[in-house]
Chains A and B, each alone.
Chain A
Amino acid sequence: MKDFILKRISAIILPFICIYGFYVILHGHISPGGSFAGGIIVGLSFIAFSTVYGTEKGRSKLPEKVLIWIESYGTLWYGIMGMVGIVKGVPFLANKLAGINLGEPGTLSSGGLISLIGIGVGIRVASTMVTLFFTLMEEES
């Protein structure tokens, strides 16, 4: 698209949307929201960017290799976090049972494994959205 106003306005707004998405992911355990919703917001900022500036420019911001990397290792990250329980001798994906310090409720570092798992889930939801968009928008050549 070649609309000047659209480009300027989106250049001002989109970084804040992206940062807000990361805020929702990171504060998923102490405020309304969560990793799925935050991941959708982060993915949406990239989708809106590539809708306004063209798919080629959006693809150069997030290359395919990076997306595939995030997607695979984000899924693996969940399993690694679950292994913490097995290493400590309690069931898979245990949190309080594994003796992890839960911290003071309401602070950003509280919740033990929950916040770490939430970061992984949020980032890979975002990468899934962007991957689906790029694949569906691919021009036939």
Chain B
Amino acid sequence: MKIRNLLILLVALLASYGMLIAAAELPPYGIPDNPIHNQVSERYVNGALEDTGVPNIVTAIVLDYRAYDTMFETIVLFTAAIAVVITLKSWKKAGER
């Protein structure tokens, strides 16, 4: 049992060492040249008003660029509500009081 605990500690230390090395390689926060600032977000920020005619960029993304996502999001909400109603509602049989 003791040896097993030591082994677990060793494996955990090794894994956290690897993750810390990976975290040290991450680009610094808030630099404009970071790889996440690619042409997609640039297109959204600069072209949202022209493409959709809506000043609120969040609404433009949610209901126009990512309309499929929102559509199935509402279907997920619908399914969740139906599931709760089916499981928790007290269905009374006919004649039962």
- Name A's B-contacting residues (CB within 8 A): 28-32, 34-35, 71-72, 74-75, 78-79, 82, 92-93, 95-96, 102-106, 110-114, 117-118, 121, 124-125, 128, 131-132, 135-136, 138, 140-141
Contacts and interface: CB of A to CB of B under 8 A. Distances in A.
Contact of B55 (A72, A105, A118): A105
A103 B52 CA distance: 10
Given A96-B51, A105-B53, A118 B59 contact: yes
B52 A96 contact: yes
A29 B48 CA distance: 12
Nearest to A31: B56
B54 A32 contact: no
Interface string B27-66: 0000000000000000000000101111110111011100
A138 B56 contact: no
**Which 7 A-B pairs give the minimum distances between C-beta atoms?**
A102-B53, A93-B67, A29-B54, A111-B54, A128-B81, A114-B63, A29-B59
20 contacts: A29-B55, A30-B56, A34-B58, A34-B59, A71-B81, A82-B71, A95-B67, A96-B52, A105-B49, A106-B55, A111-B53, A111-B54, A112-B53, A114-B54, A118-B63, A125-B74, A125-B77, A128-B77, A131-B85, A135-B89
Nearest to A114: B63
Main secondary structure of the interface of B (DSSP, over half): helix
A75 B71 CA distance: 8
Interface of B: 49, 51-56, 58-60, 62-64, 67-68, 70-71, 74-75, 77-78, 80-81, 84-85, 88-90
B74 A121 contact: yes
Given A30-B54, A114-B64, A121-B70, A138 B88 contact: yes
A124 B63 contact: no
Contact of B71 (A34, A71, A93, A131): A93
B53 A110 contact: yes
A131 B64 contact: no
Given A75-B75, A121-B70, A128-B77, A103 B89 contact: no
A132 to B, nearest CB: 6
B88 A135 contact: yes
